[in-house]
Structure 1
Amino acid sequence: MSENSELIYKLDDNPSNKESFFAAIQHVLASFIGIITPTLIIGGVLGLGDEIPYLISMALMVSGVGTIIQAKRPMGIGAGMICVQGTSFAFLSSVLAAGFIAKANGGGPDQILSLIFGVCVLGAFVEIAVSQFLDKLKRVITPVVTGTVITVIGISLIKVGFTDLAGGQWLLTNKPELFASFDNLFLGGLVMVAIIVAHKYGNQWVRLSSIIIGMLIGMIAAVLMGKVNFSAINQVESIISLPVPFKYGFSFDIAAFIPIALIYLITAIETSGDITANCMVSKQPIAGKSYIKRIQQGILGDGVNSLIAGLFNTFPNTTFSQNNGVIQLTGIASRYIGVWIGGILIVMGLFPHIGALFRAVPNSVLGGATIIMFATVATAGVKILTHVELNRKNMLTLAVSFGMGLGVLLVPEVVNTVSANIGGDLGSIVKSIFGSPITASGLSVIILTLFLGEYPEEYNPIIQDFPLDGEHSAKVKS
């Protein structure tokens, strides 16, 4: 469906039950893997074991509730559109860092999850506050800031995906001789090839489901190779998963909180872009008071949904961008579809065997899909940066920000040594803030954006490095 074609159902239209269910299924297919994948990665890296099926159930259930909130806009919370909510990849590194803090203190799964959900709940108030002061953050909400942070998020996550493709972190730590074995590399490569082929030869519906198709093919191959352990499914005793507020307790650590709070600020900026794209495909205004109000209420919805997520034992939520493509593909922008999507996700979350089934997916199969998904995040950041004018200020800002972020990623020993020399709680805080490439680059780009401000002169590197007066500037532009 072309960008200029008419919608079959507009924002406030209410399709029949049959059409609504069919449209909702397409949205679920587009977002399902993205909702559960962060939980699978976090559970695997932190060794959460038997808790993973329950965490997946909660991820699906809370995503469903959040999607309904965004669609129905109760008490002015939510964008009033099809804004499918799902576990955010942006928080992955910071959540893992918080988990490792608890693990380093001798904590088990309960203590790890208690700290993660504690800081995520408190961090959600950052995004809630940002939604109320969105118009005051114009100097920070720029393509340079968002593009830099999203690019570094994607690049830093590629390491996680590539590790899974070769067998996973547990194998690397405990059985390094089996890491990057032929079997693991074959399965991961097979998934990647299947996803690529689905994009090249499939119709629109096949392309929409390419991630699921790739993982399904990889799973079948893994079963034939004897690489799937189905015992985890049989070990699930309960038939239904019920949400229990703060099931694992509540704890707090400032060193774990600061990076997560910063990511909440970044995801608020990212959500504004996703909702703008949704407005475009849904034929809604992208300027004026109604548009600003929709953005503010949508970001508020993201914050409230992340608060609910932490309360009910899952990781922060955000608005998924891939579902904008489904709206354009189906021609159905009705916000009532969001209620159907949420209902389907809630029903899926009620049954823990679904989570146990995905826990049985080998890391190499998961890695073959996630490395593409994570690289896509980085590419999205690069796409934003292509719209940035590379004047002296922006080039300096990008250079320093990427230098700090990628420097920390490639040589983490620098920050580890500095934090060890400082010692105590202050050393832990320094390590938590500057030990993450996302927070290192994010803080750098925000500080430089505020400090450098606007250059008084225009600059054209093709001519030479000197200021241009107004007359010459106009000629250069022409």
Structure 2
Amino acid sequence: MSPMTAEQARDPDHFPGLAVAIPLGVQHVLAMFVSNLTPAIIVAGAAGFGFGSPDPAPMIYMIQMAMLFAGIATLMQTIGLGPVGARLPIVQGTSFAFLPVMIPIVAGQGVAAMAQLTTAAVIGGLFHACVSSCIGRIRFALPPMVTGLVVLMIGLSLMRVGVQYAAGGVAAQGTPAYGAGTSWMLAGIVVVVTLGLSFYGRGLWSTASVLLGLLAGYGVAAAMGRVSLAPVAAAGWVMVPQPFHFGFAVSFPAILGFCLMGFISAIESIGAVSAICEGGAGRPATDRELIGATSADGLGTALAGMFGAMPNTSFSQNVGLIAITGIMSRHIVTIGALFLILCGFAPKIGALITTIPIEVLGGGVIVMFGMVASAALSILSGVAWTQRNMLIFGVALSIGIGLELEPDAVSHLPGTLRIILTSGVLPAALVAVILNLAVPDRVSAA
């Protein structure tokens, strides 16, 4: 096979052949695999049917649907469906952005709370798709200071989860096992291996560093007798997705939270599409590509919610992978999407994931959420830190973190407002947007 020309490498419609497309497609899956599954695992744990629960079946189902609908939503982006989809090499996956809103809704409520969550995902996703056409016109209200603050709040809101997992999980709190040295050792192995491969590995070794770090921790845990494969033996070979698997239940706090976070997710996707076009094709993204990408976000979230999965969005780590390989072909990502769909129908894969000790997962989560916060700092580095911007950022950050740390401060408010205000992300974003629009843009010395 003759090598690709520079023009072919930058062409989204060019197919480089199966010999190139298959390994690169699998590489895209490896880069996002752990991040795609983690939100479903965290939500299941917050609801009370996560790791260590007597019945792992609901979490296995959520893991399978995370893979299946990440693949389907990715196909919407790469192949397109009418006006839906950017027809670019965009990888979709389960979104971390919604976690600060989802966790308070399901906290300790069991499987029954999932009906409210998935129903809200359907309605919020449809709302997201409907407003996608006007996203470009409201970008002026979301400068890097606001989007960077939102991403930072997402990372900060979730760091507690990583430490809880690394110490033994919420279920172990109050027992001698919580915070034990063996727990931190397992989490530490994952962190050290992940960092070592990220810094010194090349190619797949670096791209899949989090996955390989988890495998290293899993191997040590297995040697310590901490792994049981009984769930894998009990799981079936094929799982068929069921519409409204968890039921249908309307929760206004959940719906409002999902609709508001839909705007944040849309801005994330606009950033990903812009980065792909500028870095991979050397041109700005077109309006059609931006509208198609954000509408695919919304419809992908609605479809996932209909079958019991979490909302999804474009994955930034795969944007970076395109920059590394220098190949813009959307057909490569299509092959990765087909691989995800196949995994989604195989429940033994989900059952195997549930055998990972929670401390091992905690090590991976610490790295992932730390990277979310680091990405925010990268966005914020381009902000002109005038006195105005520092005050807006500081007030929004203070209110967002303060209400999340002290939720009883708004205990007298109605339930809907209480959930929204204590999410951390939404109050910080709303305050930042309002102040940014209301305060005159005077350049003052910082």
- Same topology, TM > 0.5: yes
Post-superposition Cα deviations, 1:211-261, rounded to whole Å, max 9, x if no partner, equal 01100000000001111232222222x210111111221111112222222
Root-mean-square deviation (CA), in Å?
Answer: 1.7
Give distance in 2, aligned partners of 1:10 and 1:75: 20
User: Within 2, Cα distance between the matches of 1:398 and 1:157?
Assistant: 20
Q: Summarize deviations over 1:247-301 as a string: whole Å, max 9, x none.
A: 22111111222222221111111111111111123215216xxx22211111111
Measured against aligned partners, the alpha-carbon deviations of 1:364-414 in whole angstroms (never above 9, x if no partner) come to 100101111101111111211111111232112101100011112333332
Aligned to 2:243: 245
Separation (CA, whole Å) in 2 of partners of 1:448 and 1:167: 41
Larger displacement relative to structure 2 (342-351 or 403-412): 403-412
Alignment of 1:9-28 (within 5 A): 10-28=11-29
Please give the secondary structure, in 2, of the residue aligned with 1:75: coil
Q: Does 1:152 align with 2:153?
A: yes
CA distance in 2, matches of 1:41, 1:338: 27
Distance in 2 between residues matched to 1:42 and 1:284, nearest whole Å: 39
Question: Could you tell me how far apart the structure 2 residues matched to 1:139 and 1:11 are?
Answer: 29
1:188-199 pair list within 5 angstroms: 188-199=187-198
Aligned to 2:52: none
Q: Specify the alignment match of 1:471 in structure 2.
A: none
Partner of 2:219: 220
Structure-to-structure mapping, 1:259-338, within 5 angstroms: 259-286=257-284, 291-338=286-333
Are 2:443 and 1:443 equivalent residues in the alignment? no
Partner of 1:116: 117
Percent of aligned pairs with the same amino acid: 32
CA distance in 2, matches of 1:366, 1:319: 22
Q: Is the 8 A contact 1:97 1:256 kept in 2?
A: no
The answer for the alignment partner of 1:467 in structure 2 is: none
Alignment partners' CA distance in 1, 2:305 and 2:322:
29
Residue 281 of structure 2 aligns to a residue whose secondary structure is: coil
The aligned counterpart of 1:258 is: 256
Superposed, 1:160-171 pairs within 5 Å as 160-171=161-172
How far apart, CA to CA, are the structure 2 residues paired with 1:180 and 1:325?
35
How far the C-alpha of 1:9 sits from its partner, in A, is 6.0
State the 1:176 CA deviation.
2.6
2-side partners of 1:434 and 1:9: how far apart? 44
Contact preservation (8 Å) 1:12, 1:336: yes
Matched, 1:139 2:146: no
Question: SS of 1:373's equivalent?
Answer: helix
Greater shift in the superposed pair: 433-442 or 307-316: 433-442
Indicate yes or no: 2:98 matched with 1:64.
no
Q: Secondary structure at the match of 1:89?
A: coil
Is 1:74 the counterpart of 2:81 in the alignment?
yes
How far 1:28 moved relative to its partner? 0.8
Contact in 1 for aligned 2:10/2:329 (Cα 8 Å): yes
Give CA-to-partner distance per residue, 1:143-188, whole Å, 9 cap, x none.
111011110110111111111111111112xx53211111111000
Q: Which runs of 5+ in 2 are unaligned?
A: 1-5, 50-55
Q: Normalising by structure 2, what TM-score?
A: 0.94
- Separation of aligned partners in 1, 2:420 and 2:444: 34
1:191 positional shift = 0.6
Q: State the secondary structure of the residue aligned to 2:87.
A: coil
Note the C-alpha offset of 1:438: 1.0
CA contact (8 A) 1:126 1:265 kept: no
Partner of 1:182: 181
Compared CA separation, residues 252 and 362, structure 1 to 2 (3 A): same
Task: Tell me what 1:470 maps to.
Answer: none
Which amino acid is the alignment partner of residue 459 of structure 1?
A: S
| 2:56 is equivalent to residue 33 of structure 1 | no
Instruction: Determine helix, strand or coil for the equivalent of 1:148.
Output: helix
Q: Give the equivalent residue in structure 2 for 1:431.
A: 418
Q: Distance in 2 between matches of 1:176 and 1:441?
A: 35
